[in-house]
């Protein structure tokens, strides 16, 4: 083996090379070039406004839309791909809606606006610049919108919306429109069966209205995966009761519909049309009359059937006087009715005065309150209010001139999702009015602190925000120092919002963003700051550059660091102490918990958020006010029992996890073990200290890799793959059936192969069966890559080699023990190790000296590279295993979701969640200390559902009458007069100052002191300086950037009782 390959492996190069060229999106657009990534998409060039959506993709690009496909599915995506959308009004809200729809993949989006851009539009319209002022808004942003998705035709229109023009659209969205326009167009679209959505924002107030016609079919109301369960019984009676195996609840609700498969005896259930269920309990439900069916014998699976539902919408004109509301905040239950009148009053004010109410103008506010009372007085029925909330309507008037980007993100995400529902029939639509406000963002004394003078326009791009919060607030916002952790989908939205808000946009302000990932094609569907020509570039750098292009005043820096202990020399005391707030945009719990700990330590506010398909959440963490992110955790994911994976799978999830384990074991763990054996002199010592049978298993894998299965060329790799196929899918199954024949009966008299245990059958290899050949090719290519051998995927060649492979004939063996449950597996794996076997394996291994320069290539699983054979192996292995056990196979997309643990994602939810985060940031800037003003949020756009609650206060504890929470600590300066305190002085300090007797003291995982420590060791340590004790016990030198250490204490209080106390921040450097 050449040393070149070994050297390449040693440096652990990234799986993908990043771009280093300096081309920008603007340059590529001017040149009208199509990047290599675009060429691979197999499409015609996007429209520049001339064909009104005639460009249609030949198929859904799973590489681009994969995360969204997991949310919407192929059928919904295909229906969206035939839909032409009109978005009228290209201020911030209209732009946000159009952006989300283009990323989502509708057929075409036409953006309409007859007005020209003003400087104030830059408060939220991120595709306008100061050079755009005076130009038509739709024309200016059309080109930049078209860059978002080459599959979507993007057109601009600046004329009047006429009957002939509107006929070509399936959905019309109106923003920034008058009441007269809304009435005229709503009547028009009803005539032609066109769906209508009206959306508006005015400062911290917003409104969405939906009319999808008198008979709209919803194909899937929730988007959740259909519930499935294995059944163990069905009664034969007029109200037949189905019982499921009590390992997992059935997850059904009364009114759901189900069908059945694989039922033995009562075969009438198999493939039946959806039967309505009544839930009896978590493991039982009834399905109606089964008295005329056959007797249930055994087996079977129940599967939920999604039944279409038809909903009827009232026309806009009728719904104005007879509205239905979606509640967005149950703490404001009465507010939708008030705002319904308030928004009508606002439209009437504009009609009468030809302008919006001026910011904080008392006369205009009183005028609008009077109009609201006038409108309310003419109403009848439930829509009429007992009294108009004058304070609320006045605040609406004060906010009317406001234009703030976070509200556009929130409402733009909601509205775009409603458009997708209208196109696809996927998810429950809004019925029919939604009002949302965020008045809690205002300064607590806004009525006295804000006036017409401080909120007046100052000829600034932030005038829309100043109109709501005032000029002093804007200055504070610009001076914020933010740390954005992650530049993925949510991170991109955050950076866009911060740039528009002006956060960190002064010389005193700063925005630092870090992300160590590079941009991949699948990111382009929702991480909207990236373009096709950015693929393979660093996320953080590209995202920050794009945000700065939106607002050149953005001040900050992009890093490419992973947050963790290894980068605490970068994100050290000096860095954190300067921060105003940390904003997480992470995709894993471990990193979130790490950042949470750092924020607690440095007492910094943390804004946390996440998405899962149409679901999203926001959490606010405030020093001394709320609990931390880590204070409460989701329950752990349900794990698959080992024996289920090894011998008794009953679902495709089991076979996919087994396939993933195969990949990790064969192509990562074994090469890692081999390389450690060859390079680590202490390898054998570590192996012999392993638990149970691990020493034998590890040494055997190294021996097979270096001796038995080491290939000399690619033909050997093919032969190995063929033999491995035989072992996995034929021989092991034959041995299992030898131990437990199909007719096996348990000691209780029940069939062994029943319930969750599916009786398997061995497979006979046939190179003409595509799945069989797929496995051999993928396995051989990965084997070759592990040994740095050049492979080839030519099917004819592979078949030619296969014909020469000698496959050993298998004969089942007596005495082979197969574990039936995890208890047996644990017992057998923890038995004593046979030293003779270890000696024999060790003797059979070649010496590391004889293999000088040889290294294996350990493969990191990468799901999104379709050329690396990783998913080829997973899909083939899983589906062959599924065939063994008669489990329905999974396609490549579904296999990638499960095996790759992909988080489904869609741009609409991301935009909404980021908007909610930024609304909470306003409150932090305002200095709110009242916990009731902050909002933790959970949303589900599919239902739709919006739930907000105030954050939870931190748990309080006490010692010696002193109350404390997780935010409190002992702060101790360990250096006095240039001398650091000793361990004895440290302990005496707590005894004297806090009346606490330290019984144990630790730093990290190192125990520095304990009451049961030997006298000699105690005597030695008590006289040592604290940092010396830490270095001696941990055997690690304290790094130069560390100024303070964290100590954990166990103490007895004044009464000698064991008591919980805060941790200690011990400062030893200044």
The residues assigned a catalytic role are 643
In sequence order, which residues have a C-beta less than 8 Å from that of residue 135 and are 6 or more positions away?
A: 116, 117
Helix axes 983-994, 1015-1022, angle to 10 degrees: 80
In sequence order, which residues have a C-beta less than 8 Å from that of residue 422 and are 6 or more positions away?
A: 170, 171, 195, 197, 210, 212, 216, 429
Query: Per the structure block, which two tokens stand in for 593?
Result: 């918990």
Return the SS3 of 1058.
strand
Give the Cβ contact number of residue 1009 at 10 Å: 23
Q: Where are the beta strands (DSSP E) in 262-352?
A: 275-276, 278-281, 284-286, 301-305, 309-311, 325-326
Q: Which residues of 871-889 are buried (b: 16+ CB within 10 A; e: fewer)?
A: bbbbbbbbbbbbbbbebeb
CA distance 648 to 650: 6
Alpha carbon 104 to its chain's center: 17
Answer yes or no: are the C-beta atoms of 177 and 89 closer than 8 Å.
yes
- Pick from 966, 1064, 1060, 1004: which is nearest to 600 by CA? 966
Pairing of strands 108-112, 153-157: parallel
Give Cα separations from 383 to 185, 435, 965 (angstroms).
23, 15, 48
Beta-bridge partners for 196: 172, 211
Phi, psi of 841 (to 5 degrees): -65, -40
Q: DSSP secondary structure string, 692-717? A: TTHHHHHHHHHHIIIIIS--SSHHHH
Phi, psi of 206 (to 5 degrees): -150, 165
Give Cα separations from 908 to 71, 91, 418, 490 (angstroms).
11, 18, 10, 11
Q: DSSP secondary structure string, 708-773? A: IS--SSHHHHHHHHHHHHHIIIIIHHHHHHHHS-TT-B-TTSSBSS-TT-----PPPP-TTSHHHH
Helix axes 471-478, 907-926, angle to 10 degrees: 110
* In the block, residue with structure tokens 């941990």: 1034
The CA R_g of the chain, rounded to the nearest whole Å, is 33
Beta-bridge partners for 962: 959
- Pick from 4, 996, 978: which is nearest to 986 by CA? 996
Secondary structure percentages of the chain, helix, strand, coil, to 5? 40, 15, 40
Return the SS3 of 513.
strand
CA distance 536 to 520: 6
Answer yes or no: are the C-beta atoms of 84 and 138 closer than 8 Å.
no
Largest CA distance in the chain: 97
Answer yes or no: are the C-beta atoms of 412 and 174 closer than 8 Å.
no
Answer yes or no: are the C-beta atoms of 647 and 736 closer than 8 Å.
yes
Return the SS3 of 433.
strand
Give Cα separations from 455 to 121, 460, 464, 468, 776 (angstroms).
16, 12, 9, 7, 70
């Amino acid at each position: 083996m050449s040393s070149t390959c070994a050297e390449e492996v040693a440096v652990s190069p990234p799986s993908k090379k990043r771009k280093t060229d300096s081309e920008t999106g603007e340059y590529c657009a001017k040149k009208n070039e199509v990047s290599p990534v675009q060429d691979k998409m197999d499409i015609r060039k996007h429209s520049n406004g001339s064909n009104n959506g005639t460009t249609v993709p030949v198929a859904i690009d799973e590489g681009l839309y994969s995360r969204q496909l997991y949310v919407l599915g192929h059928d919904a995506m295909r229906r969206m791909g035939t839909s032409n959308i009109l978005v009228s009004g290209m201020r911030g809200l209209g732009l946000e809606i159009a952006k989300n729809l283009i990323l989502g993949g509708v057929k075409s989006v036409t953006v309409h606006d007859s007005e020209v851009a003003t400087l104030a539009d830059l408060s939220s319209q991120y595709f306008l610049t100061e050079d755009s002022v005076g130009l038509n808004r739709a024309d200016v942003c059309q080109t930049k919108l078209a860059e978002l998705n080459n599959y979507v035709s993007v057109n601009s229109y600046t004329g009047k919306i006429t009957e002939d023009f509107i006929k070509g659209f399936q959905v019309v969205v109106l923003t920034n429109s008058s009441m007269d326009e809304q009435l005229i167009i709503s009547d028009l679209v009803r005539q032609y069966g066109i769906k209508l959505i009206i959306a508006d924002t005015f400062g911290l107030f917003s409104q969405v209205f939906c009319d999808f016609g008198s008979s709209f079919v919803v194909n899937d109301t929730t988007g959740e995966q259909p519930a499935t369960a294995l059944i163990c019984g069905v009664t034969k009676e007029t109200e037949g009761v189905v019982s499921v195996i009590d390992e997992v609840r059935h997850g059904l609700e009364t009114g759901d519909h189900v069908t059945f498969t694989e039922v033995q005896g009562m075969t009438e259930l198999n493939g039946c049309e959806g039967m309505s269920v009544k839930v009896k309990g978590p493991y039982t439900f009834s399905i109606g009359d089964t008295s005329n069916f056959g007797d249930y014998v055994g087996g079977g699976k129940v599967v939920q059937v999604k039944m279409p539902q038809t909903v009827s919408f009232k026309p806009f004109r009728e719904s104005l006087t007879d509205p239905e509301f979606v509640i967005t905040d149950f703490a404001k239950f009465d507010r939708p009715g008030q705002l319904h009148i308030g928004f009508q009053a606002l439209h009437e004010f504009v009609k009468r005065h030809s302008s919006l109410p001026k910011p904080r103008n008392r006369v205009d506010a009183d005028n609008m309150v009077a109009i609201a009372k006038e409108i309310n007085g003419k109403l009848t029925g439930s829509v009429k209010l007992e009294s108009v909330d004058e304070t609320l309507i006045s605040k609406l008037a004060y906010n009317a001139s406001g234009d703030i980007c976070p509200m556009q993100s929130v409402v733009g995400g909601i509205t775009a999702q409603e458009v997708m529902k209208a196109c696809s029939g996927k998810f429950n639509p809004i019925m029919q009015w939604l009002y949302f406000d965020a008045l809690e963002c205002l300064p607590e004394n806004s009525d006295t602190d804000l006036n017409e003078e401080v909120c007046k326009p100052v000829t600034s791009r932030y005038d829309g925000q100043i109109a709501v919060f005032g000029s002093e607030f804007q200055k504070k916002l610009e001076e914020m120092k933010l740390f954005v952790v992650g530049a993925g989908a949510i991170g991109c939205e955050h950076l866009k919002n911060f740039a528009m808000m002006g956060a960190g946009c002064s010389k005193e302000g700063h925005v630092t963003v870090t992300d160590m990932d590079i941009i991949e094609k699948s990111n382009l569907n929702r991480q909207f700051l990236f373009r096709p020509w950015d693929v393979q570039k660093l996320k953080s750098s590209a995202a920050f550059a794009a945000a700065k292009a939106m607002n050149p005043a953005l001040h900050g820096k992009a890093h490419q660091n992973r947050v963790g202990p290894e980068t605490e020399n970068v994100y050290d005391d000096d860095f954190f102490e300067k921060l105003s707030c940390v904003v997480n945009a992470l995709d894993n719990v471990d990193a979130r918990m790490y950042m949470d700990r750092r924020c607690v330590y440095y007492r910094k506010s943390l804004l946390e958020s996440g998405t899962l398909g149409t679901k999203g959440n926001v959490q606010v963490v405030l020093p001394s006010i709320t609990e931390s992110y880590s204070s409460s955790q989701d329950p752990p994911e349900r794990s698959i029992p080992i024996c289920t994976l090894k011998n008794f799978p009953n679902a495709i999830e089991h076979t996919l996890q087994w396939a993933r384990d195969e990949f990790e074991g064969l192509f990562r763990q074994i090469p890692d073990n081999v390389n450690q054996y060859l390079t680590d002199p202490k390898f054998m010592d570590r192996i012999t200290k392993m638990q149970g049978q691990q020493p034998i298993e590890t040494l055997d894998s190294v021996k097979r890799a270096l001796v038995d299965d080491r290939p000399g060329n690619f033909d050997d790799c093919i032969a190995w793959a063929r033999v491995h196929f035989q072992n996995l899918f034929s021989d092991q199954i034959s041995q299992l059936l030898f131990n437990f024949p199909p007719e096996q009966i348990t000691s209780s008299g029940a069939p062994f192969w029943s319930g969750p245990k599916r009786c398997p059958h061995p497979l006979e290899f046939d190179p003409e069966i595509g799945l069989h050949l797929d496995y051999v090719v993928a396995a051989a290519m990965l084997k070759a890559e592990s040994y740095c051998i050049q492979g080839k995927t030519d099917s004819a060649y592979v078949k030619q080699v296969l014909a020469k492979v000698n496959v050993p004939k298998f004969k089942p063996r007596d005495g082979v023990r197969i574990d039936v449950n995890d208890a047996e597996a644990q017992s057998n794996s923890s038995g004593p190790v046979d030293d003779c076997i270890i000696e024999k394996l060790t003797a059979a291994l070649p010496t590391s000296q004889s293999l000088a320069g040889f290294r294996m290539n350990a493969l990191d699983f990468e799901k999104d590279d379709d050329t690396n054979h990783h998913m080829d192996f997973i899909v083939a292995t899983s589906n062959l295993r599924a065939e063994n056990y008669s489990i329905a196979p999974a396609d490549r997309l579904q296999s990638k979701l499960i095996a790759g643990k992909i988080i489904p994602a869609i741009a609409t939810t991301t935009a909404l969640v980021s908007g909610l985060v930024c609304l909470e940031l306003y409150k932090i800037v305002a200095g709110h200390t009242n916990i009731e003003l902050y909002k933790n949020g959970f949303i589900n756009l599919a239902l739709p559902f919006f739930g907000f609650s105030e954050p939870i206060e931190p748990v309080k504890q006490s010692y010696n009458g002193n109350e404390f929470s997780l935010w409190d600590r002992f702060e101790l300066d360990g250096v006095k007069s240039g001398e650091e305190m000793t361990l004895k002085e440290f302990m005496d300090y707590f005894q004297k100052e806090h009346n606490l007797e330290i019984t144990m003291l630790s730093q990290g995982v190192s125990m520095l002191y304990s009451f049961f420590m030997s006298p000699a060791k105690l005597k030695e340590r008590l006289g040592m300086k604290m940092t010396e004790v830490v270095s001696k016990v941990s055997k690690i030198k304290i790094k130069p950037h560390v100024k303070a250490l964290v100590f954990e204490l166990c103490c007895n209080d004044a009464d000698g009782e064991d008591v919980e106390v805060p941790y200690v921040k011990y400062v030893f450097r200044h």
